[in-house]
Structure 1
Amino acid sequence: MNRQSSLSLQPLIGGIIAALLVVISFNAFIVINPGQAGVLSILGKAQDGVLLEGIHFKPPVISTVDVYDLTVQKFEVPAESSTKDLQNLSASFAINFRLDPVKVVDIRRTQGTLQNIVSKIVAPQTQESFKIAAARRTVEQAITQRSELKQDFDMALDSRLEKYGIIVLDTSVIDLNFSPEFSRAVEEKQIAEQRAQRAVYIAQEAEQEAQADINRAKGRAEAQRLLAETLKAQGGQLVLQKEAIEAWKQGGAQMPKVLVMSGDNKSSVPFLFNLGDIQTQ
């Protein structure tokens, strides 16, 4: 009876062992996909040599593999600093980076997860790099030399993150803010400049008007000179005749029925009257 029981259990035990072997065999290999890198740890100790894309053997049960994403990572990191003239300056940077596959094992040993990399390395080094770039300029230069500010920031950040196995691909300034006091000072300066420009415009306008008055005065003087020369040359009779006619026109009179001239029409002033006025009398 016991022999029969043991014989019936043998297939069951054999199946269990076979299933365990299958599970262990599947657990003895790991596939690293493109854009990934793995770090093999045996009994909790990271092994040298990064696991790149492909299939890799790992000792079952006693080993684990930490997989890191080598594709481009993007994080927004805030930063604050003081400028050369001791003005507060704050910014927000978008950092695009990826991990150096050659240094993934060192990253695993020193930093651990990607979240630790961002919080313990990327964020602090972004802050320090921004302080370096901002301290070289006044707050006004930070505005007018924004591209140079970013260039200094990029150089400082690249050199600081490279030694940690972090390759910076690109950075961009999302926001750049100043202290409320400086913002008010900028606004007041712009208002003062606008007022100064308005004052210059008014002064130029007044100068042009004065020059126009001078030109008109010169024109009147020239007209009077020509009038005097005409009076002198022709005895003044033609000018007097012209002025008599102009005065008559400006008085609003109607066209006369009769125009009487003396015999010498070159030297006499015309006598104007309206026959209708005589007839009414």
Structure 2
Amino acid sequence: MSRQTVQSWQSLIGGIILALIVLIAFNAFVIINPGQAGVISILGKARDGALLEGLHFKPPLVSKVDIYDVTVQKFEVPAQSSTKDLQDLSASFAINFRLDPLQVVDIRRTQGTLQNIVSKIIAPQTQESFKIAAARRTVEEAITQRTLLKEDFDNALSSRLEKYGILVLDTSVVDLTFSPEFARAVEEKQIAEQRAQRAVYIAREAEQEALADINRAKGKAEAQRLLAETLKAEGGGLVLQKEAIEAWRTGGSQMPNVLVIGDSSKNSVPFLFNLGSLE
């Protein structure tokens, strides 16, 4: 073999070795970005200690790094339960959560992927937490005390998911439905309450009208009493005569031009009045 051929082989082998060195060098490091956490597995076995953001060394060729998103995740999870009065109640919850970066190694060992976390942990624990919250109250209380229902649900869910390395940040009730039978019962109750309120209003209105009639009757009686006292006083006859003329005038009958009223008593004063002047 010529010297030139040997040199060619040496150059080829040297190039291959250099390429392997570069490949191994690049494969020996991993970059964890913000919002991520990594789990390094060597020959299929997860190593303790999560990889947080930054540059990390890993054994080349025999290791693998699983990256987990530890930012806020949101999933809607349905749940069904029975209330204290044995009514069916269904709900849909929007759950905001994130993975605890320091516990991603345990998550990797026990659950694996994020899809497994949602289907095997979050969904069933949501169902159980909703059962706990719903069983403490009737279906009517679940509707009228929705804030307390959510509070009980949040406490139950947070305590259950925390041990799995899942941090619940917030939940919201997207939908809350109950059986058609209860819906009809609620509608009938509302109609009955509206009728009762209407009856109370009518009764109060009648009471006010009766009170007004009483007050008008009292006022009329008082006016009649004052008129009687006036008639007893000096000159009361003149008042009667004037009221008689007014009644005649407003009654619609034709009035005479002159009306004379009087008697022969000592205290009577003859009354001469030209009615034509009133027109």
For residues 205-230 of structure 1, give each alpha carbon's deviation from its aligned partner in whole angstroms, at most 9, with x where no partner exists: 11111111122222222233333333
Range that drifts further, 254-263 or 23-32: 254-263
Q: Which residue of 2 aligns with 1:165?
A: 165
In the TM superposition, what is the alpha-carbon distance from 1:57 to its structure 2 partner? 1.5
The answer as to 2:266 corresponding to 1:267 is no
Aligned to 1:72: 72
Partner of 1:202: 202
Q: Which amino acid aligns with 1:7?
A: Q
Give the Cα–Cα distance (whole angstroms) in 2 for the partners of residues 140 and 97 of structure 1: 30
| C-alpha spacing 1:139/1:155, structure 2 compared with 1 (3 Å) | same
Distance in structure 2 (CA, Å) of the matches to 1:274 and 1:45: 126
Contact 1:238 1:266 in 2 (8 A): no
- After superposition, the CA RMSD in angstroms is 2.6
**Contact 2:80–2:88, Cα closer than 8 Å, also in 1:** yes
Partner of 1:58: 58
**For structure 1, which segment, 231-240 or 179-188, has the greater mean C-alpha deviation from structure 2 after superposition?**
231-240
1:116-155 map, 5 Å: 116-155=116-155
TM-score (norm 2): 0.88
- Is the deviation greater in 233-242 or in 79-88? 233-242
Q: How many Å apart are 1:231 and its aligned residue?
A: 3.2
Q: In 1, Cα distance between the equivalents of 2:46 and 2:112?
A: 11
AA aligned to 2:159 is S
TM-score by length of 1: 0.87
Alignment of 1:214-229 (within 5 A): 214-229=214-229
Q: Is the 8 A contact 1:237 1:269 kept in 2?
A: no
| C-alpha displacement of 1:262 | 6.4
Partner of residue 279, structure 1: none
Q: Which residue of the partner structure matches residue 10 of structure 2?
A: 10
Matched position secondary structure for 1:49: coil
For 1:265 and 1:130, how far apart are their aligned partners in 2? 99
CA distance in 2, matches of 1:261, 1:232: 19
- Identity, in percent, stands at 79
Rounded Cα–Cα distance in structure 1 between residues aligned with 2:232 and 2:34: 109
Instruction: Give, in whole Å, the separation in 1 of the partners of 2:262 and 2:164.
Output: 117
Residues 210-257 of structure 1: CA deviation (Å, up to 9, x unaligned) = 111122222222233333333333485223212222123304589987
Q: State the Cα deviation string for residues 45-99 of structure 1 (Å, max 9, x = none).
A: 1112211222111122211000111222222211111110111111121212121
**Structure 1 unaligned residues grouped into runs of 5+:** 276-281
**Conserved? CA contact 1:237–1:268, under 8 Å:** no
How far off is 1:35 after superposition? 2.2
What amino acid is the match of 2:108?
R
Corresponding letter in the other structure for 1:192: A
Mapped contact 1:259–1:273 kept (Cα < 8 A) = yes
